[in-house]
Structure 1
């Protein structure tokens, strides 16, 4: 009896032990599978991060490699978006190592599209680094290209009119068609969109702006920049930090007493939207923002430009409005305006007087007034955008 009980107990013990071992093995297998799946996922994530990092590092190394091969003259030339000359455009581009040309209506009026294309192609073919070919094609009152019927049957309406005619989808179509027209001619940078926030229909900037409503301007900025980015044409947000109710700085000095806090609540928001959606550049106005820097127009103010870099985290190109405008000439000579613009933190200078402003900036670097590191940082940002747009 005792022996039988012993045998039975041994049998039961063996069965229990077997079950425990089996369960343990199954648990280990499950954990092993989960661990294996987790390892695969982590490995895939790591590979993706490595690939992204490699792409960024490659682009960064290309910028730095190019910079290391450039002379001071070549670097300073890259910072100038020169007014397109009536003749000898290729010679000027080569002799002054220009970073780009900005075209105006007179440069299109007597030319067919094929002539414009051939002029641009001829310049780009002889440059080691392609130029920015830029234009103001906002729609409405500012249409440098489409105002002439050989380029488009009718001029582009304003983005606001496009919205009124067909809603947000029409705004997207407007941006896409505009970008494609520019691209077909050889242009790679549009000095648009206007993201200023006018306060009323009486304001100078009202007819060029999209709306007085913040939500609408923000939505427009997002759609416009995203569409252009998809089409590989660069955008320039303007006019930082926002015109508001200011007067026209083409013809005089504009003083703006709004505080930075007030600007952050309204006017700076569309600019931040454009930054977040990948706009390549921001154009700074000549308005004097007295609450931020009472002594200098925004274009020449390190304090105003620091808002873009430090407060808003913008890492792209900062661009002056045209340095020939009356709103700037009250503060500096032609040569000094270019030097001060660089010292303020601008990367790209729109210049009709590049023949004297480029030598002025070079001289300021050579005599130690402008640290060469400032030039290098600006040129790296320019090269980064050119790589992004496929110009290098």
Structure 2
């Protein structure tokens, strides 16, 4: 089977969609799926040429819509070579270009074999983005764009692919007309991390020397208001004062964004709290051994987001055997709750405070049990082989998952 991914960018900075394509490659090859990617990256981008599948870089893209005239020409000449075409992401030129070419070719090849067309929104149909304060103009723009273009991309496709049940259900609330032919909950796979070794801890501890082997909770994501970092830190400060530091783990807030106005504000919350400030660490963005050392060394992972389509870092924590303390706005919360992989709360200060306090109150044996459940959750639901199997079923037009 030949599969074409159409995506805006394969840059590692593009986050989950690009990483997901890379992560599933070996599992897909094992199922006989040969994949190529069409994107609008510049051909001389430094991150290209390192993958085991072909990437056709048809940029550089121009403007906020990521327009590239090369994309349509390439799709016209090549798209019929594939059994399946997957459009990754919405709202940018690549989804419109693929839809336009496919619609034209379908008329010209009536009655002949034609690729199966699937769209993976990657959370871009979440109603959060239409309702969030500060996005009123963008919400109006998206509504107009939906009426003119994106509704056709979605409704003309053979099916939509979602990373979890919550994403699937939320997508039905956002725009009308919304009439996908089929909806598939295919999940999303995360590669099994490297086994623990002392070098991982060493790399992380060099960035947080004040931890000195103390228990800690880990937030590892972008330092942004959407991630609920301000709620987490305020809840931690309040609980720290009330418990008078008794059994209180330290807190590591890791990720890019500390130099933004929001990131600076977060750090300033501790300026008048010297006794608490010494227990909170801001190592910045963690990669490689330091990142995995942070995961393996923490007691639990915390992500109280106001919106999170999947949460790759959540699943990475589970894969390291670490329970996750997350809000019910992280879309995989149902799977986590049902499998016992962590604790769930509302995305409020009181909600976060409650699960922090609940975690702290557990004894050592209970925390070990939670860790075992976390690892089992990963192995049952979020491995690459599980996700690849679900994708393959959608490719061959099985019933919706």
**Normalising to structure 1: TM-score of the pair?**
0.31
Query: Which is richer in strand?
Result: 2
Larger radius of gyration: 1
**Normalising to structure 2: TM-score of the pair?**
0.30
